Structure 1
Amino acid sequence: MFLGLDLGTSGVKALLVDGEGRAVGSADATYDVSNPVPGWSEQDPADWIAGVSAVLAALKSEHSQAFDAVEGLALSGHMHGAVIVDEAGAVLRPCILWNDTRSFEQARAIDSDPAARAISGNIVFPGFTAPKLAWVADNEPDIFAKVARVMLPKDYVVWWLTGRYVTEMSDAAGTAWLDVGARSWSDDLLSVGGMTQAQMPDLVEGSEVVGDVQPARADLGLPATCKVIAGGADNAVAACGVGALGEGQGFVSLGTSGVVLSGRDTYAPLPASAVHTFCHAIPGRWYQMGVVLAATDSLNWLSRVTGQSAEALAKGAGDTLQAPGAVKFYPYLSGERTPHNDAHVRAGFTGLGVGTDSADLTRAVMAGVSFALRDSFEALKATGASLETALAIGGGSRSDLWCSMLATTLNIPLERPEEGAFGAALGAARLAMCGVTGADPASIMTKPPIADIIHPQGSLVAAYEDAYRGFAAAYPTLKAMP
């Protein structure tokens, strides 16, 4: 038996699988995000520990025999978070999360150094880890002076489980301290950010064994022989869960944020595109992705404003794809990453009239998110990545209307996996399997069974193409607004 833990922004999921990768059981726990100042997003690492403890206890209670046979576990985790600890391992301040934009000035300063993009292969975004530490240095110098180690969120849990300070390539690639091509810490990048190698965790590959669960965690009830495998960053591990390892393999995710991702066999960065080029969670592979900061989060925002649930809004929008309407939505609720790298641009509706109803607003939100993903798709193609089809994953992919709209906007077929366990939790379990057994990742990380394929609606492709061109042209106007 193997365990995959998916440490998300709003909660943790545990998936227990057998030696064939079949799901045996799962458990979930939730926790909160703190937003003490507009643009800030923080979390207490103790909440992750409580969540992980809760899901492991639930699995042990409900599947005790299988739980007692667990040979290895691995974690997927949300990227870029800055967990800073002192010499004793005590957390010095709440973790600054991936969607926190406070460090935009520090990001701009680091990004202005020619070494930053040349070595990391990426624009230094405000959400990355390096500018967060620079912000702490500028604004909380007493805390910065005590920083002994910096960890990514999932790596804090790995440290709690094993006592080792370790990270792996896919998460390290999102710090702006890693030489992504060479898969090693860069002294040049660390010095730009005012850090040293001594403050970095050890680097391993995602399928590598970190160690045993330490005796201090015996209360979790895991077998004494259970191995902890390094795991990976959430999107890299989700790619492991859906078999997106190399060229032509990828997915579109309609989750809280939106992602268009393609596996790559080689390192081929194009920082100016604002596409992320990161190490994969398995050795010798990379992946590239464009990121939309507010995908289903845009629909959740509309839900809060209207008082209707996201499910009710989606149902009210209908099932049949129509031509784009007069109402337009620009989903920049928290700024945008790909392709704009703009922390300050904000969302907006246009074309509203006295007859506009909630269905019009919902369809406009779905279209706006689809067009923003098309922006990422175009940026991804500029790097040389090629996706002639893609898997559709994430909560928003359950909407037939949204998937049809997205397929028509991208003008490629989208394959929806069968309902059940896949994605990051399964990808983490697969990494655990590879770590314990030494199996070739390509033999374990295969595509899940496909439930259906959503094809572009040929009669509407031109209309969505025209609407997308209008969407792309509107960005300078939105950017110029106070």
Structure 2
Amino acid sequence: MFYIGIDLGTSAVKLLLMDEEGGIHKIVSREYPIFFPKSGWSEQNPEDWLDAAIDGIKELTADCKKELVAGIGFGGQMHGLVALDQNDQVIRPAILWNDGRTGEETDYLNREIGKEKLSECTANIAFAGFTAPKLLWMKKHEPEKFAKIEKIMLPKDYLAYRLSGVFCTDVSDASGMLLMDVKNRKWSREMMEICQIRESQLPRLYESYEVVGTLVPAFARELGLPETVKIVAGAGDNAAAAIGTGTVGEGRCNISLGTSGTIFISSKTFGVDANNALHSFAHADGHYHLMGCMLSAGSCNKWWNEAILRTKDFVKEQEQIKKLGENQVFYLPYLMGERSPHNDPNVRAAFLGMSMDTAREDMTLAVLEGVAFGLRDSLEVARSLGVPITRTKICGGGARSPLWRKIIANVLNLKVDVLESEEGPALGGAMLAAVGCGVYKDVESITQKLVKVTDTVEPEPELVAKYEERYRRFREMYPAVKGLYR
């Protein structure tokens, strides 16, 4: 039997066809536009997602026996607000995870409602990218559209709804809405009252591996797939990627270098850090996780190479870098503001320490190091909780760079495990579909069988010491510049 994983990313949808032994038979992707109508705003059209996904499934299954496709699971960009009216029409373009328009609403929630109250209700505080502040923004600035809302959903759940007809979400993705009581895995009545929404406007909550329904007849006919294909709830992109990398159970770590950057720590028990610097979310394995999220990671490298250097040959740019740990140029990786651990949507990126002898490769290296230092900021919060992390998996487009993997291993002083198959949320979505279809008894079982480590990057004591000194300098820079962006 075959299982489809759909990763609804920020710039493209990636689709993967997997058999029950974990063999990957085909991968396709389809891009779609992202719109920036104002500075700091970020939107997409949900219909573009659906069109791209349907077109991608057709190509994905073109050469396989379609009657053997048993299930579809999802990973997807988190936090985005998709609002439908009573006729299931999209009311406005989806407001995405990296949209920064909700500064006032975020301040209201954190200051007026209070961080302590928010943490008590949801295990988290308000961040500009979360869904609840977007609802408050819409209520204030688009009251007529807000009044029309009948269904509130997340990006991947729009695909699940259209494919299955079931209004659903999963607990890992819903954790990032600031509307869910994470500890008890249910919607928070207090947050619904604060946002002036009804529970009927929110989807039913499922575990990530649970079947929500089957493929609706219209799409089954269009795709040539059986109506018996099971639609599985799936997970937020980082939780889905964690499944694909085997980051489940107690004290496992995964670093994702995608458009955004995350450090993801799985746990069998619920926990929250005192300052809510890390997100405390439900995990796709039925347990919990802590996560630090940088808004710009791989996007920093893409911006530097494509927009500034005007090249797409990332490999060639990194080949010029010969020496690590001695760069005098620093880069603050805050192109879209920052989430963890600063929670500052207004701060922006900067280069510091340039001089007359600064070279092109110094700037390129500074970008890679700046992202690694930003990830270390979140790792330090986890370490302050007594979490004993000594190694991590790594995934995402940036993880293909041997140089970046080496920098991360030494900046964070962690062993970095490289995987045989690094396909991120799409693989995680397919694995969740296989669990939902009953091929494996639980998430931990499938990860134990399918996830294989092929190489480990070991930190080097001398380089770790050099980066320790540089990280101390990096930590002084955000406090020094944040006042410039108020």
**TM exceeding 0.5:** yes
User: Which segment drifts farther, 149-158 or 304-313?
Assistant: 304-313
Query: Which position in structure 2 is the counterpart of 1:42?
Result: 43
Structure 1 Cα separation of the partners of residues 185 and 315 of structure 2 = 46
Distance in 2 between residues matched to 1:271 and 1:233, nearest whole Å: 24
Counterpart amino acid of residue 3 in structure 1: I
Q: Which residue of 2 aligns with 1:138?
A: 140
Report the equivalent of 1:96.
95
* Equivalent residue, structure 1, for 2:436: 435
State the match for 1:228 in structure 2.
231
Q: CA contact under 8 A between 2:249 and 2:444: conserved in structure 1? A: no
Corresponding position of 1:64: 64
Corresponding residue to 1:345 among 347, 368, 386: 347
Map of 1:355 onto structure 2: 357
Q: For 1:227 and 1:458, how far apart are their aligned partners in 2?
A: 50
User: 1:252 aligned to 2:255?
Assistant: yes
1:329 aligns with: 331
Shift of 1:355: 2.5
Q: Tell me the residue number matched to 2:194.
A: 192
Letter in 1 for 2:334: Y
Assess if the C-alpha contact under 8 Å between 2:301 and 2:367 holds in 1. yes
Hey, what does 1:422 align to over in structure 2?
Answer: 423
Contact 2:318 2:364 in 1 (8 A): no
Residue equivalent to 1:289: 291
Give distance in 1, aligned partners of 2:37 and 2:197.
27
Partner of 1:4: 5
On the 8 A contact 2:44/2:93 being kept in 1, the answer is: yes
Whole-Å separation in 1 of the counterparts to 2:263 and 2:403? 19
Q: Distance in 2 between matches of 1:323 and 1:286?
A: 35
Cα distance between partner residues in 2 of 1:313 and 1:471: 27
Q: What TM-score, normalized to structure 2?
A: 0.95
C-alpha displacement at 1:310, in angstroms? Answer: 5.2
* Counterparts of 2:316 and 2:98, CA distance in 1: 25
Please report how far the alpha carbon of residue 421 of structure 1 lies from its aligned counterpart in structure 2 after TM superposition: 4.9
Q: Please state how far the C-alpha of 1:314 moved relative to its aligned partner.
A: 3.7
Q: Is the 8 A contact 2:285 2:444 kept in 1?
A: no
Q: For residue 225 of structure 2, what is the amino acid of its counterpart?
A: L
Query: Match of 1:370?
Result: 372
Q: Which moved more, 1:114-123 or 1:196-205?
A: 114-123
Q: Displacement, 1:47?
A: 0.6
- Which has the higher mean CA deviation after the structures are superposed, 382-391 or 153-162? 382-391
The one-letter code sitting in structure 1 at the alignment partner of 2:239 is A
CA shift for structure 1 position 353 = 2.0
Distance across 1 between alignment mates of 2:329 and 2:442: 50
- Equivalent residue, structure 1, for 2:18: 17
Q: Which residue of 2 aligns with 1:241?
A: 244
Is the CA contact 1:84–1:149 (under 8 Å) kept in the aligned structure 2?
A: yes
SS at structure 1 position matched to 2:233: strand
**Alpha-carbon offset, residue 193 of structure 1:** 1.6
SS of residue in 1 equivalent to 2:331: strand
Contact in 1 for aligned 2:396/2:423 (Cα 8 Å): no
Which structure 1 segments of 5+ residues have no match? Answer: none
1:455 matched to 2:458? The reply is: yes
Residues 289-320 of structure 1: CA distance to partner in whole angstroms, max 9, x if unpaired?
Answer: 111111111111111112122515543443x4
Distance 2:347 2:217 in 1: 49
Q: Cα offset for 1:64?
A: 2.8
How far residue 68 of structure 1 moved from its aligned partner, in angstroms, is 2.7
- 1:170 corresponds to: 172
Alignment of 1:454-473 (within 5 A): 454-473=457-476
Q: CA shift at 1:244, angstroms?
A: 0.7
CA contact (8 A) 2:245 2:395 kept: no
Is contact 2:262-2:294 (8 Å) kept? Answer: yes
1:481 paired with 2:484, answer yes
Tell me: CA distance 1:258–1:321, structure 2 relative to 1, closer, same or farther (3 Å). farther
The residue number in structure 1 matching 2:152 is 150
Cα contact 1:136–1:144 (8 A) shared by 2: yes
Q: Deviations over 1:299-355 (max 9, x none)?
A: 11111112122515543443x442231111111111111111011111111121233
Kindly tell me: are residues 3 and 32 of structure 1, through their superposed partners in 2, closer, same or farther at Cα, counting changes over 3 Å?
Answer: same
Deviation at 1:271, TM superposition (A): 5.6
AA aligned to 1:97 is L
Match of 2:11, as an amino acid? S
**1:246-274 deviation per Cα after TM superposition (whole angstroms, max 9, x unaligned):** 22211111221111111010100126141
Q: 1:199-237: per-residue Cα shift (whole Å, max 9, x none)?
A: 101111111111111112121222121110111100001
Judge conservation of contact 2:395–2:423 (CA < 8 Å) in 1: no
Q: Distance in 1 between matches of 2:41 and 2:435?
A: 37
Q: Secondary structure at the match of 1:272?
A: coil
Seen in structure 2, the aligned counterparts of structure 1 residues 300 and 272 have a Cα distance that, compared at 3 Å, is same
What's the offset of the Cα at 1:357? 2.0
CA distance in 2, matches of 1:439, 1:194: 40
CA distance in structure 2 between the aligned counterparts of 1:317 and 1:110, rounded to whole angstroms: 47
The separation in 1 between residues aligned to 2:463 and 2:446, in whole angstroms, is 39
SS of residue in 2 equivalent to 1:210: strand
Q: Percent identity?
A: 39
Q: Given the two structures, how large is their TM-score scaled by the length of structure 1?
A: 0.96
Residues in 2 aligned to 1:181 and 1:7: alpha-carbon distance in whole angstroms: 26
Worse-superposed segment, 441-450 or 238-247: 441-450
Matching residue of 1:84 = 83
Offset, 1:9: 0.7
Equivalent positions of 1:204-215 (< 5 A) are 204-215=206-217
Match of 1:25, SS state, is: strand
2:124 alignment counterpart: 122
Aligned-partner SS, 1:445: helix
Task: State whether structure 2 residue 310 is matched by structure 1 residue 307.
Answer: yes
The answer to whether the aligner puts 1:261 opposite 2:251 as a matched pair is no
Amino acid at match of 2:21: E
**Contact map agreement 2:213 2:232 (CA 8 A) in 1:** yes
Q: Which amino acid aligns with 1:257?
A: S
